[in-house]
Amino acid sequence: MDSGYPAVQGREYRAEKGAVSLFLWRKTCSSAHPADPSPPVVLVHGSSMSSLPTFDLEVSGHPDYSFMDWLARHGCDVWTLDHEGYGHSTITESNSDVGCGVEDLKVAFDVVARETGAEVVDVYGLSSGALRAAGFAQAAPDRVRRLTLDAFVWTGQGSPTLTKRRDGVEYFRTHNRRPIDRDFITSIFTRDLPGTSDPAVIEACAQAQLAYADSVPTGTYLDMTTKLPLVDPESVACPTLIIRGEHDGIATIEDLLEFFKRLPAGDKRLVVLPNLAHCTPLGLHRHLLFETVLQFFRAG
């Protein structure tokens, strides 16, 4: 660990969803001032990178890139998971679509509740992870206290990223997994605007993700190109924060504003973070995200 930072403790758990074993990872910091009575925080990964490369990345010579460590040092009991077909979780024949991810979150919640005694959690989702997180908030409204949707897309209308991605729809329909390589992972960071993430961080992320496998499930890509909208804003009852990186092409600001208008909670926020693109937790200006999310969760 980089010197000068309080020690953070990590522990692995497993959640069982029938024959599928899901990897859960928890981080706490004993020297941090507890965030009591705030509930645990659950971080939900996106389509192409599993939980640890996204939220708990260690980069030699580049400290403070772990969103989990940062939250733990600020007193949070923070959890993440690999969805079915990703990372340390069971690889199956499923395409691990958004609905599958919601079921993953249900069984993950049971583990978090058992280990912490919490009756609710605060949830942050990134990209298709935001769709999973919102779906979980719809399906289990009594379990989500506050919800953050980062790099979220509602209808997909006018999305440059999804317009290009629709070229692969037939492949997504006929294959349950799609190949990834270093160039593809690099493109996640550079497709909107090069220079918003450090090249060394991009390389570290690619190495970490490719150490698991050279493919990931297709389900969320198929959902995002053929089935939007997947979330009914009027069914998301909890306080909600929508975050958009200034340069992110996954959704237009108009799309997000229309979703935002329909959210029923009086406590709702939409924030555009400057100098960030799609993968906000690993951007050069990631602390804008970190502070924004923590402030929202602490406001409850």
Per-residue pLDDT at 1: 41
Per-residue pLDDT at 5: 80
CB 68 within 8 A of CB 56: yes
Going through 1-98 in order, the beta strands assigned E by DSSP cover 9-17, 20-28, 41-44, 78-81
Within 8 A by CB and 6+ apart from 192, the residues are 161, 245, 247, 248, 249, 277, 278
Q: In this structure, what DSSP letter does residue 168 have?
A: G
3-state secondary structure (DSSP) of residue 286: helix
Question: What phi and psi values does residue 83 have, to the nearest 5 degrees?
Answer: -70, 165
Say how far apart CA 139 and CA 122 lie, in whole Å: 15
Q: Does 228 have pLDDT greater than 70?
A: yes
Across the range 52-72, mean pLDDT stands at 96
Per-residue pLDDT at 3: 52
In the block, residue with structure tokens 């979980």: 136
Tokens of 231: 């979330």
Tokens of 230: 């997947």
Strands 215-217 and 177-179, bridge-based pairing? antiparallel
CB 49 within 8 A of CB 209: yes
Q: Which of 217, 166, 218, 186 lies closest to 282, judged by CA?
A: 186
CB burial of 189-198 (b: ≥16 within 10 Å; e: otherwise) equals bbbbbeebbb
Within 8 A by CB and 6+ apart from 165, the residues are 221, 224, 225
Confidence label for 35 from pLDDT (cuts 50, 70 and 90): low
Per-residue pLDDT at 6: 84
Within 8 A by CB and 6+ apart from 215, the residues are 177, 178, 179, 180
| Surface-to-core class of residue 127, CB atoms within 10 Å of its CB (0-12 exposed, 13-18 middle, 19+ buried) | buried
Taken in order of first residue, the domains within the chain and their CATH numbers are: 9-298 (3.40.50.1820)
Q: What does pTM read for this prediction?
A: 0.97
In the block, residue with structure tokens 């997909």: 156
pLDDT tens column, 88-129 = 999 999 999 999 999 999 999 999 999 999 999 999 999 999
Average pLDDT, the chain: 96
Per-residue pLDDT at 300: 81
Per-residue pLDDT at 32: 73
